[in-house]
Amino acid sequence: MRNILSGDVDFNKRLNGSNFTGFVHSAFKRTFNIQCFDSGELYTIACRSIDNAPNTLIVDTENTSQWNIEVNDRVFVEDKILYISNKLALNISQAITWESLLPPYPSNEEILLHNVRWAREYIDCQGKGGGIKKCSKPLNPFEAETCKMLEQRTKSLLNNLAMNRIDLAIKHAVSLVGLGPGLTPSGDDFLTGLFTTLHMEHSPLYEHRSFCEKVTKKAKSFTNDISYSALEQASIGKVRESIISFVNSLLIENEDDLILSLNKVLDIGSSSGTDLALGLVCGLEANIKAGGKPC
């Protein structure tokens, strides 16, 4: 029996309030994903080095591969115990609940504007290239062309979003889905960061947050299940804890906190963290421009 350290509030409710059944969708060293039979939705079991996230339970272990979890293993709940075949039993009754809550957009943008400029410069220096951030020396013509497409499409998306040309913005956003390297492609990670900023209450683009769900509805056939799940959650304002911490740090005058939180995001995946961070920064810049201020 393993204890769950913490878990997304909605996932906990789902497990405690119904006869949850599913199967293992995919398995990795530090996580494995479960697909619910009823809804088709993906849920994640992660080791303690992973931060809290939507539809995720954090287990007190260094890695999840030790249990030899395999694709299609049966998953079910019985007496507040989540079973994965006969390989793992997780006690869900004592889990600390976590909820994805974004801070509101600030009424005074001066601190935000300064921090966004600083964060962009930091990402330019410390971020990983090959996705949204250009790689100084592409490995091959395909990588060079992909980076060029990402640059052109993100630019078109942001220009139209800042000008409130939402229909055109949707078109360019959909063209990013599935584009780029990684299990969660660069275009998807960028959109996840961008969607986050539109769900900050009182932001200039908050009234257009339905843009996120409209893009996501068109995106399902263009990317993989895991990446789509992250996009779907972000489209309703639900993102992982490290992203929320970074957003919070952008709203206050504390450079040490900003460096710490931004580095945690940049450390996600290979280039995924850089793509996420740039999506956030670009989304906030679009909000600032939509509010009438230059970046």
C-alpha dihedral (245, 251, 252, 257), degrees to nearest 10 = 30
Residue 196 sits in which domain range? 110-290
Same-domain check for residues 69 and 174: no
Which pLDDT score, from 0 to 100, does residue 141 have?
80
Same domain, yes or no, for 136 and 171?
Answer: yes
Alpha helix (H) residue ranges in the chain: 9-17, 110-126, 141-162, 166-174, 186-198, 210-219, 225-234, 241-249, 255-266, 272-290
- Residue 13 belongs to a domain: yes
- φ, ψ of residue 218 to 5 degrees: the values are -85, -10
Domain boundary among 68, 98, 128: 98
Residues 136 and 143 sit within 8 Å (Cβ to Cβ): no
Q: Please indicate, yes or no, whether residues 127 and 260 belong to a single structural domain of this protein.
A: yes
139 and 171 together in one domain: yes
CA 207 to chain centre: 21
CATH of the domain at 21: 2.40.50
Over residues 23-27, the mean pLDDT reads: 97
CA distance 289 to 212: 19
167 and 133: one domain?
yes
Look up tokens 């809804």; give the residue.
39
- Please tell me whether residues 179 and 80 are part of one structural domain: no
* Residue range 232-255: mean pLDDT, rounded: 97
Domain membership flag for residue 182: yes
Global pTM value: 0.94
In a domain? residue 127:
yes
Which range (3-17, 126-140, 233-247) has the least confidence? 126-140
Q: How many domains is the chain partitioned into structurally?
A: 2
Given 72, 98, 124, which residue is the final one in a domain? 98
Q: What is the pLDDT of residue 92?
A: 87
Residue 231 has pLDDT above 90, yes or no: yes
Instruction: Judge if 160 and 239 occupy the same domain.
Output: yes
Query: What is the average per-residue pLDDT within 151-171?
Result: 92
Which whole number is the average pLDDT over 125-132? Answer: 88
Q: Does residue 139 lie in a domain region? A: yes
Q: Would the pLDDT of 138 be above 70?
A: no
Domain membership of residue 21 (yes or no) is: yes
- The reply to whether 176 and 263 lie within a common domain is yes
Q: pLDDT at position 19, please?
A: 83
Placement of tokens 């930091």 in the chain: 122
Residue type, 208: H
Q: Bridge partners of 21?
A: 76
Q: Domain end: 51, 76, 98, which one?
A: 98
In-domain check, residue 88: yes
- Mark whether 139 and 218 lie in a shared domain: yes
**Are both 129 and 180 inside the same structural domain?**
yes
Q: Which two tokens stand for residue 113?
A: 């504007």
